[in-house]
Amino acid sequence: MGAGPLTEECVAAGLAAPELRSAAPVRFFRSRLLEGLTRAHPACPYVLFAPVIGWALWAAAMAIGPRWGALGALFAGGWLSWTLLEYWMHRAIFHLSGETDARKVARFVLHTHHHRTPMDRERLAATPFQGGSLALLLAAIDGLVIGGGWQAALAGQIFGYLVYEAAHYAAHHSARPWFGARLRRHHLRHHARSGGNFGISIALWDVVFGTRLRGP
């Protein structure tokens, strides 16, 4: 099948194109808005969110003082909470169940477009809208749940997010990924065999929740 445009109507009808091995860009939507929601330059997350980590650590130190043990614990807890969020977002939201037209389109805009063109570098990272919305939501939750010093937990979460983006890019485009061939195989099994390996930067939660895929 050719790599022609896939409109919203095609997605709703379940006529998704097969996986395309080429890294060449493919347009899926007639709507510029929907097409834009599936594309982001791979550098976007680092340009947008690396400065936020520095600000968050500074703000946490201003809030609770230079209590390095407490700041480190909040940062580590934020990173760990991110790995769990990464797993459940991928499992429950990116692979949203249900076959209604609305769910098919939502699923395609959020994630399925990447499965259709896994080598397209502009369909690996979250868009600024997606990443920014998630960061604001996490900040609101951290502020309510943690209280003083919540910014350090947010810094850990954003750090985990950037590690996730780097690991995802390396899994698809690095001959020798910095995070190891084992974790790369873990992610590529997710592409080859549905139903598991939802963690990307860490395989821990697939082991915990019994969704780890083995084999070729």
pLDDT reported for residue 21: 52
pLDDT for res 5: 39
With bands split at pLDDT 50, 70 and 90, how would you rate the model's confidence at 85? very high
Residues 122-157, buried b or exposed e (16+ Cβ, 10 A)? Answer: ebbbbbbeebeebbeebbeebeeebeebbbbbbbbb
Distant-in-sequence contacts of 190-198, Cβ < 8 A, 24+ apart = 191/19, 191/115, 191/118, 192/216, 194/95, 198/87, 198/88, 198/90, 198/91, 198/95
- pLDDT at residue 128 greater than cutoff 70: yes
Q: What is the mean pLDDT of residues 24-50?
A: 83
pLDDT tens for residues 170-198? 888 877 766 678 888 888 898 887 789 99
Residues 6 or more apart whose Cβ sits within 8 Å of residue 35: 27, 28, 29
Q: For residues 125 and 169, is the Cβ–Cβ distance under 8 A?
A: yes
Decide which of 8 and 49 is more confident. 49
Of 76-80, 117-121, 153-157, the one with minimum mean pLDDT is 117-121
pLDDT grade for 101, boundaries at 50, 70 and 90: confident
Q: Whole-model pTM above 0.85?
A: no
Q: Rounded mean pLDDT of 24-42? A: 77
